[in-house]
Structures are given as C-alpha cells and as structure tokens.
Structure 1
C-alpha cells in the first residue's frame, strides 16, 4: 500500500520544521492506545465473565450431585431439591437426570414438564452426549423466559451398571446485569476517550493555526526591523551632510542677514536634530533587535556624567520655566560601565520629563546601595495613567492622552532605555500618579 507512506509524507511536509509535530503525535497516539486498550479489556472481560459463569455452573452442579444421587436412591422428588437450591448469582431453572439404556437416552427424573413429555431435544442432549464422560456447559436462548440460560451436564456415579448424567439449567440474571452494566460503563468510558481525543485534536489544530499566524507575524516583524535598519542607514549619511552644509551656510551669510534669519536657522537646526535623533533611535532599535549594540566598558564618574547631561538641557528647560536640580550622591566610586549608554539613558529620561512637564522642577539624584548605583529622574509633570503602565516600555508605544497629543515622539525612547539598562546589568522602574508627576529609577552595577 502506497497510500499510507504518502499520507505520512504529507503530514511531515505540513508540519515540517514545526515544534508541534511531536506533541501532535503524542496527543493522537495516547488516546488511540487507550481506545485499543479499552476494546481489548472489554473483549477479555466478556471472555473472563463467561468462563467464570461456566465454572460456577459446573461447580454448583458438582455440589448438588450427591444430593441428587441420594434422592434418586430414596425415591424422593427432585422438585424439593429445586426449591432448596438457590445460588446467590445464579438460579436453577430445572434439574434432570438421564441415563443411557442401550442405544437410547431416557429420563430418570426431571423437574422440567416439557422434558417429562419426552422433548429431550429441548435439553440439547444430542449435542451433550459427551456429557456422560466429562462436564459440558454452554449458553442457549430459552424462549419461555426470553433470556439466555446456561445448560450444564455433569456425569454421575454409575448405578445399576448404567451411565447417569445430571443436567441443570441456570438463569444468570444477576451476572448478566453486572456484565451489562460494566459493559455500558466501559462503552461510556470509550466514548469519552474518543470525544476527548477529538477535542484535543481540534484544540491542537486551532493552536497550530494560531502558531502559524504567530510565525507569520514574527516574519513580518523581522522584515519591518530589516526595513527600519536599511532606511535608517540610508538616511544617516544625507543627514550628516545636511548638518554640515547648515553650518557651512551660517559662515557664508553676512552678519546682517544672519540676524534676520536667526530664528529660521534655529527652527531648522531643531528640526534637523529631531530627525537625527529619530534616525539614531531607529538604528539603535535595529542593533538591539539583531544583538549588535556595542557596550564599551570604561571607568565612569556618575556625578560628572549627570552634570554634563544637565548642562545640555538647561537652555531647553529654561524655555519652559523648568528648573533642573541635581542631587549628587556623596563619595560615589568610579564604576565599570559604558558612559555613552548611561548618558543615553539619562538623556532620554530627562528629555521626557521636560517634554511632559509644564512647570516646577525636575530632580536628578544618584545614590549607592548594595553594589549598585541608583539614578532617579523625578518630575512634577502630567503623570502617566494607570492603564498605560503595563505597556509603557513597549516598542512604539505612546501614552494616549489629550495632554500628550501635541508632544512629538516615536514611542521608542523608553523601549531603548529599558533594553540598554538591562544590557548594562541593571533594572528600570517607574512610579507615577496621573496629574501629579512621575519618577523613573534605574540601577547600574558597580562592575560590569
């Protein structure tokens, strides 16, 4: 058969390269094994029950055989024995004693009226002739009671040099009831196993389809990152040239003309710097995603670094009537880390505080605790809604608020900040009350 190999090849091709192949095989195989095992147990159970009933019937027949012999010798009626002999799981319907008389079989005594009338075929004696030599038991359907009965024949001791045979019929209502109930329960379990298997398969294939969608989205995200990287690199060179030509243009313009367009130059310079920062952010996103962001370990004086960052923001803060306040930690040691990356993190946090603060002051503090430098940037700005906190450090996420609509940004700054802090071996946290302000804190280990 070539169909099965082709089917297996199709399945392998469908799940080729998928980590779901082996779980699917396991999920399919285990229920199938359980179903096969249940079928086998049902078959064995029926066989064992039949054996037990047959053995029980023969055993009961052997038990009452001495009483039958005694009653025959005494000339007693077997009906008395019939009423006396009842088994807990079986009920004797009739007792018959037959013997061989030459080439004939005759009834010596019986409690079965139909047999008294000479209907020996009802006993199946033509099939049970071997019963004169060994016990025989078998099932047959009794039309009178409308149920299966057990026919059992057991050889008896010889009397008057003739072979005698004890023939009993048993009802097995209780045993059949137990057998039926157990079989029903087994079939219910089997049906539940089949249903559970179908549910598992359906759920797994749904999960597989979702996994496929996830992989497609991951591939699209990868393509997006590659496009961002390519676009950022292509834009970086023209941007550098544009900044150079802007400075060159300033030198060529006469002082009188320069005063007239000073404000225009200022705006143009600000726009170019914003665009340059965007390109640098995109490049950082690409480098972080591809694991190419370099960390250069040097000696770092944290307080000096913070002072340098604050000096660059004083003009921008003054335009919004904001005060920058540095609380330098005392006796901070030199640490082993990347000063440029720490400066980038602090710059991002201070820049955000200035953008989202309308008045008051911005506090930058540094302390040392447990082999870590703690740096905090606290402002009295508009704060962050609680609903935005879980996604605050996500890529391209921006706080959606009526007060932030006019603030420009890409939603990359905090994502880059978090990644850099983690690459330096630290952690970053945020506390914020909407309408009151925010405090960003991050740690840097003393040694990388």
Structure 2
C-alpha cells in the first residue's frame, strides 16, 4: 500500500515537473483566491464575535448606569434618570426602548418609560420577566431576536430597592451596525472577485508570454539557420561564378574567336557579373539583419572618397552618354566615418542615378556647415512619384514603373544603403519630381568633436 502511494506521488511529481506552467496557473487561479476567501471569512467571523462581546460589555455598562438611579424610590418623576437615559440614547443609537418595571403583588408595573407611552401601566408581556433564570440578578440577560429581518436584543437586569424587585429593560436595534458590516463584507468579496479576475488575467498573460517566448526561441533558431544557410549558399555560388567570370575574360582575349563567339562570351561575363552582384547583395543583407556587420570609424577626407567614386563610375556614365560631374571645394572636408562603407553607399546611389537617367547629367555635391556635412547626388532622370518615394527603401521593391528587363537590379540596393547610413549615424532624404529628376541627400551631424 505504501509503495503504491509512493509510486503515485512520484508520478504526480513527474506530471507537475512536466507541466509546471499548469501548476502555476492552478495556484494563481484556485489556491490564492480560496486562501483569500478563507482568510476573509475567518476575519469577519472573528470581527463579529469581538463586536458582539463589545456590545455585551457596553450594554452591561448602560444597565449599571441606569441601575444606580433605579434604586431611587420615585423613578417616574426623576429628572436625573430622564437626563441620563436621554444621554445614553444619544450616545448609543441602537437603544430603542428603556423601561423600569416594578414587581408588585406578582404584577409587573411600568414605573419608567423613556417614551412615556406605557407609564404606570401593567406590562402585558410579563412572560419575559417570569422566565428569567435564577442567576439573572448577577448581570444582564439577553434575549436575541430577529424581527422583520433586523437583529434585536431585549436586555433585562434586576435591582432590589427596599425589598422591591425592579427590572431594567432595554431594547437594542442593531440593523444599522449590521448594514455597515454587510456593506464591508460585500466590498471585501467584490475586492476578492476583482483579485480573482486579475489572477485569471495574470495566469492567461503568463501562459501567453510562455508561448510567445517558446515561439520566439523557435523563430530565432530558424532565423539563425536561415542566415547560415544564406551565407553558405552565397559563398558557394560566389566561388564558381568568379571562376566562370575569369574564364570568360580569358576567352575574350583569344585571337581565334569569331565575332559571334565574342558576343556569347560577353553575355556570359555580364550574366556572371550580375550574379556576383546579386550574391554580394544577399550576403550584405544577411550580415545587416544578423547584426554582424561592423563599421570601423576613422577621420577621413571626404573629397578623396568622392573623387574615387566619380572616377570609378565615369565609364558607366559614358556608356549611357551621360555626364558625371563632381562639385566640391578644394579645401578638405573631414568626417569621422567608415571610409569603405561610405564609398559603398555612394557607389550604390550614383550607380542608381546613372541607371535611371536616360540623358543629361548626374551631379555629386558636398557641402559643409558648422554642424553638418551634406552629400547630394542629383540626376535629370525619370524622377520618383510621392507614392513611390515611400517604398524606395523597402527591400525587394523597385519603384518608378521602370522596365525591369531594361534596367537590372534586385531592389536591395537602396535598402542596404539606408541600413548602412543608419549604422554610420547619418540620415538619407529624397527630393524628386516625376519626369524632372531626383536628389538623394545624405546628412551627417558633425556637432560632436571630431576625434
């Protein structure tokens, strides 16, 4: 029997360990409210008992005060007794009746009545006095009644005056006190109900939080696996693409090829170059999303970077019969940033400007003020509508309604550019008019001291 109980207990503990969340929910939803309800009930039981004890002591003191004057021979005309009873009733609002009854010839005559309604009349309900126990003279005797739903106490005590037995009778209505206690109880149980509802909501919230955390862990793992897979695939693609591109370059230099062969080789070279750009974009996105891309800040001369970008992209501009213009001052413009990343940003922006400009000019400008450095890339291209400007930095989105077969791209360039500018602590803005041209503006705050 004991072994079976131990096995049952062990199995129960295993279930609890496996479902600790449900145990916590059970404690919050059931154990705590029941504990609070039990404590509240015990509190009110104790409070009611203490109040009743206090009421008995108070009533006993009232009877003692009246008994002192009731020993007078003529209580019916006693002004002092009337004043004392009036004062007692004022201080104890539960008193509804006060009488003094004298037992004469086995009859019960009312010799004092606080209401004066039954003065000098014989008490009709004399069973109240006749049924007093023998020890009633030692203190007060209480008849506990409930009349019309109200808790009523009828209290008797006795005194001897020159061989005459007198009864002191008071009636107490505790309906007001009971209504206050009932109101307190209702408020307490309403509070308990609110706590119960709060605990249910808390248990539900904890349950959801636990589920969300589990889903978050699963999603984090899946994202890490996705990033690792993307990196692996991108690296694996880049190596053979580089080899293909290299062999295409070697074949292009051969003297024995026909013009058609050369055209095919150029197509292979262009396609592999586009694939390499695509793979590089995917790698850049993976590094940015995983937070692994780091920047190395240093003080640089911005003019040197702008000159390099302009020189590198002149050939691309010439292929489209565009003029690529660089407008900078001769004085050096110093900026604390990552030179390689800034160059990457500018190449992305200027390359886009050249791609989407059919004719005219692409201009690169740099301005320095007291608190900032601004780089502006202007073009006279097709422009971007206000609606499309909102999607300009959204990944895998190409704006402007361009012919995607004529203008190649992944829709990642401007998103990568925006992320890199954010990493460098800069801001990027777009000003464009459809059919007129576009200005891409990059701002860096230089109010902080250069280091």
For Structure 1 versus Structure 2, the TM-score category normalised by the shorter chain is 0.7 to 0.9
Tell me if structure 1 keeps the 8 A contact 2:102–2:109.
yes
Matched residues in 2 for 1:5 and 1:433: separation?
A: 69
3-state SS, counterpart of residue 384 of structure 2: coil
- The match for 1:90 among 82, 87, 94 is 94
Matched residues in 2 for 1:34 and 1:379: separation?
A: 74
Aligned partner of 2:354 in structure 1 is 354
Aligned partner of 1:382 in structure 2 is 383
| Cα displacement string for residues 10-32 of structure 1 (whole angstroms, at most 9, x for unaligned residues) | 454789xxxxx99x999999989
1:296-307 correspondence runs (5 A): 300-307=300-307
Aligned partner of 2:425 in structure 1 is 426
Matched residues in 1 for 2:404 and 2:51: separation?
A: 81
Tell me if structure 2 keeps the 8 A contact 1:323–1:361.
yes
What are the ranges of 5 or more consecutive residues in structure 1 without an aligned counterpart? Answer: 16-20, 100-104
Matched residues in 2 for 1:152 and 1:7: separation?
A: 61
Task: Note the aligned Cα RMSD (angstroms).
Answer: 4.7
Aligned partner of 1:437 in structure 2 is 438
1:223-234 correspondence runs (5 A): 223-234=225-236
Task: After TM superposition, give the deviation of residue 234 of structure 1 in Å.
Answer: 1.0
Q: 1:225 to 1:315 in 2, by over 3 A?
A: same
TM, length-normalised to structure 1: 0.73
Tell me if structure 1 keeps the 8 A contact 2:363–2:378.
yes
Tell me if structure 1 keeps the 8 A contact 2:421–2:427.
yes
3-state SS, counterpart of residue 149 of structure 1: strand
Say whether residues 1:133 and 2:138 are aligned partners: yes
Task: After TM superposition, give the deviation of residue 218 of structure 1 in Å.
Answer: 2.9
Tell me if structure 2 keeps the 8 A contact 1:229–1:286.
yes
Say whether residues 1:198 and 2:215 are aligned partners: no
3-state SS, counterpart of residue 253 of structure 2: helix
Task: After TM superposition, give the deviation of residue 344 of structure 1 in Å.
Answer: 1.0
Task: After TM superposition, give the deviation of residue 367 of structure 1 in Å.
Answer: 2.8
Task: After TM superposition, give the deviation of residue 376 of structure 1 in Å.
Answer: 2.6
Task: After TM superposition, give the deviation of residue 95 of structure 1 in Å.
Answer: 4.0
Task: After TM superposition, give the deviation of residue 315 of structure 1 in Å.
Answer: 3.6
Task: After TM superposition, give the deviation of residue 201 of structure 1 in Å.
Answer: 3.1
1:269-308 correspondence runs (5 A): 269-293=269-293, 295=295, 300-308=300-308
Matched residues in 2 for 1:124 and 1:263: separation?
A: 130
Say whether residues 1:119 and 2:140 are aligned partners: no
Q: 1:7 to 1:260 in 2, by over 3 A?
A: closer
1:286-435 correspondence runs (5 A): 286-293=286-293, 295=295, 300-320=300-320, 322-333=322-333, 337-370=337-370, 373-380=373-380, 381-383=382-384, 385=386, 389=390, 393=393, 396-399=395-398, 402-403=401-402, 408-423=408-423, 425-433=424-432, 435=434
Q: 1:242 to 1:30 in 2, by over 3 A?
A: farther
What are the ranges of 5 or more consecutive residues in structure 2 without an aligned counterpart? Answer: 1-7
Counting matched residue pairs gives 424
Tell me if structure 2 keeps the 8 A contact 1:337–1:447.
no
1:154-233 correspondence runs (5 A): 154=157, 156=159, 158-160=160-162, 166-233=168-235
Aligned partner of 2:5 in structure 1 is none
